[in-house]
Amino acid sequence: MFNFFDEIKKTVKNFEPQELTSYNIVNISGKILYVEGHLGLTELGKERITFKVKKGRVTVEGENLCLAELADSTMKIVGDIKKFEVL
pLDDT the model gives residue 49: 98
pLDDT the model gives residue 47: 98
pLDDT the model gives residue 4: 75
Rounded CA-CA distance 35/43 in Å is 15
pLDDT the model gives residue 81: 98
CATH architecture of the region 22-86: Sandwich (2.60)
Map out the domains of the chain as residue ranges.
Answer: 22-86
pLDDT tens digits for range 19-31: 677 898 999 999 9
pLDDT the model gives residue 77: 97
Rounded CA-CA distance 9/18 in Å is 11
pLDDT the model gives residue 80: 98
Ranges of the chain whose pLDDT falls below 50: none
Rounded CA-CA distance 12/85 in Å is 23
